[in-house]
Structure 1
Amino acid sequence: MTGRARTIVLGLLGLLCLALFAAWWHHTYVRVVRTVALPPGGEAAYNPLYALKRALRVDGVDVDSRQRLDLAKTTLGPRDTVLVSGDPRTLSTREVDDLLYWVGDGGHLIVTTPRGWCFSDARPWELLPQLGLALKPGSGGCETFIVPGESRHVEFCSGTRFTLQGIDPLLSWGDFANGFVFARQQRGDGIVDVLSSIDFMQNDALDEGPHLALTRQLLDPNYGEGTIHLVYAANVPPLWRLLLEQAWMAWAPLLLALLAWLWMRVQRVGPAMPAPPEARRSLLEHVQASGEHLRRHGLSSLLHAAVRDAFLARLRRRDPLAAALEGVAQAEAIAARTGLPAPDIEHALRSPRPRDGQDFRLRVARLIEMRTRL
C-alpha cells in the first residue's frame, strides 16, 4: 500500500470514529436543568438578620439594621423594638442603664444569652443580672415547638439556658430544673424578652413556617407601632475573652501537646544536682597531689631524695665539714650537732624500701627533724 492510500484509509477511519461518537452522544445525551443556590452576597453575607429585615419591610414595618447599638447616635422611640443578637455582657454600664430606662417608657427589648462556657462570673452592673437572670450553661437540651399544620420542630438546641432569680415573668419557656430558654417580663411600661438563642430568626431559618410564627409572636408587643432596630453584632468582646471562652477546644489540646513534648524532652526529673566544686589554686594542694601520685606509683624514693637534698643543702650552709664527710663519719658529725642517735641519722639518709609506706614516712620525718635541729 502506497503512502497516499494509507493516508486515505486513516482519514476514513478517523471520520468513522467521529461519526460513531456523534451518534452515541446524540443517543445518550439528556439535557437537565439544575438550580444551584449561590452563596449570599453583599449584606446578606455578613448580616444574619438580613432576611428578617427584608421581610419586615415588605410587611410595612420600619426597620433599622446596624452592627452596633450606638445609643449616642440613635434616638429610640417609646414604642420601638430593639433586638440585640450579640453578647449582652459587652454592653457598657451606661448602655445598660439607657436601655432599661427606655424600656420603662414603653420600649420592647429582645436580648440573647451568650453562647459557650462562661469562665467569669456575672457582674452586678451587666444586663442579665439587672433583669434577675443567671446563666445556667451545660443544662437542658432542645425544646419541642409544634405549629398546627406544620411538622414537629425542636428549637433552642444550641443556646445557653438561664434561671430566674426573684422575678415573676409574664411568659416563660422551660423549667427550674433544666433552666429556661425564654422569659418575658414587664419593666415599667415596656417589655424585656430574653432568649437562649435566636437561630430561628436568621437568614437560612426564616423560610420555615414555625420559625416565621415564632418570630412574629416574639415581635408582637410593639409590632407596627414603632421602628424595629436589629443589632446583629454588638460590641465585639476582647480577643483574650473570645479565645478563652470560644476557642478552648483548639488551644487546650495544643497546650496539652506542648506540655507532653516538654515532658518528653526533660532529661532528668529529681533533686537538683549539687553545684560543681570551685577550682582551687593552692600550691600546697598541688604539691600534696603530686606526692600522692608518686607514692601510689612506687616512686617514693624520689620524694625521699628531694627531702634529703634539702637537708644536705642546709647542712652545707651550717656545717660544711660534716657535709664533706661520708657514711658513719658523717652520721656521727651530724649526731654531735643535732643530738640525735647516729644510727637513726644513717638510716634516714638511705633510700627507703620500695612500696613500704611506713619506712618512707619514718625516714622523711627523721630528715625533717634533723633539718630543723641544724
Structure 2
Amino acid sequence: MSKRNAWVIGLLVLGLLALAGRYFYTHLERYTEVIDHGPSRIARTNPYLAAEQFLRQRSVPVDVTHVLSDLPDARLDTRTLLLLADRENMTPRQVDRLLNWTKSGGHLLFVAEQLWDEQKGRSGDLLLDRVQIHQVLSASLQPPERTNSTPLKPSSDLLLALLPPAESPQLTKLYLENESDPAYFSFDTRFHLEDPKDHAQTWANSEGSTHMMQLVYGDGLITVLTDSDLWKNNAIEHDDNAWLLWYLTQDSTVTMLLQTEHGDLFSLLLRNFPQALAALALLIGLLLWHTGVRQGPLQGTASRARRQLIEHLHASADFILRRSGQSALLRGLQQDILRRARLRHPGFERLGVADQWQVLARLTQQPTSAIGQALRPRPNKKLSATEFTRQVAHLQTLRNAL
C-alpha cells in the first residue's frame, strides 16, 4: 500500500467516525435521576435528629447529651430538658435530682412510659409516679358525652379545648389566645393521661383522651406527654408537630437527653469488618488446635505382666519429655550426680561450685572442664536430638562413675 492510499484511508476513517459521533450526539437524550440512599447513619441512630436541627433553625440553642449527670444549671438562665431517653433503669436518686433541678427553675418535659396499676397503686415509672400523673389506655375510658367545646382558662397563655368528633378525632387540638384557628398534633390516641390530684394547669386533648399536661413544680414547669413519636424524624413534618416543639421550648436553652442506639463493640466490628473477624476466629482455632493436647481413641489398659522394667523407664522418660521438656530430664540427671557426690564425699554441699567441680573431677576421673560443661545450668531452648542425646550420655557417664 502506497503512502497516498494510506492517507486516503485514514481520512475516510476519520470522516466516518466524525459522522457517527455527530449522529449519536444529536440523538442523545439527557435526563436526571435521583437515587435515594435512605436516611444517613446519624439519622438512623438518632430518631430526633430532625427535631434538633429544626430547633437550631429557629435560633433555639440546643445541647445533646446521653447521660443524666450533665444537667445544666437552671438558675443561670431559662432551661428546658427534653427527657426523651429510655428511663427503665432510672434510680430514685436520679428522679430526686431531676425534680430538684426542675424545682430550681427548669422546664422538664418527659414521656409517660408505664400504665397505672390500680392493684399495686403505682405504675412502675418512678418519675411519673412522683408527679402523681396516671397513664391509662384510652380504650378503658367511658365514652365522652357529646357537649360543645368549651375553652379552658389555664394559668399559662395556652388555651386548650376538646376536639369535636366531626373534625379529625385522631388529632389533638390546641387553641391560642387571639388565634381563631387551632393547631393540630398527631399524638398516639391509644393512651390517656389522668390528673387525680388536680395538679395540672394546662392540658391538650383529642376526642376523649388527654395527651399533654403541664403543672407548675416549685419555680419550674413539668410537661408530661403520652408519647414523643410526633417529634421523630418521620413524623415531625406532619400537622403542627414541629410548631408544638418550638412553642414548648421557645425563649430557653434546650438540652435533649437522647437514647441513641449505639451498638456494642462486637456488633460494630461484625457489621463493618466481617471478613477480619472470620479470619481472626480461624486463626484462633488453628492456634488452639496447634497448642492443644493431642488425644486419640481410648485404649484398653494393658496387662502389667507384659511390661518389663525397661519399658516402664522408657514410658516415664517419654512422659516427662512430653510434659516438662528436655530441661527437666537434664536437671534430674544433674541432681542425681550431686546427690551421689554428697554420699561419696561428706561436706560436699558446703563447698563452693569450683571446689565441687574439683571433687567431682577427682571422683570420676574426668577433666574439670567436662564437669563444668555437664553441670552448668542450661538455657530454656530446645536442643536437637543429637545434642540432647550427647548431653544425656555425658551425664549418665558421670553418674555411673560415682
Q: TM-score range by the shorter chain?
A: 0.3 to 0.5
TM-score if structure 2 supplies the norm length?
0.43
Structure with the greater alpha carbon radius of gyration: 1
TM-score if structure 1 supplies the norm length?
0.46
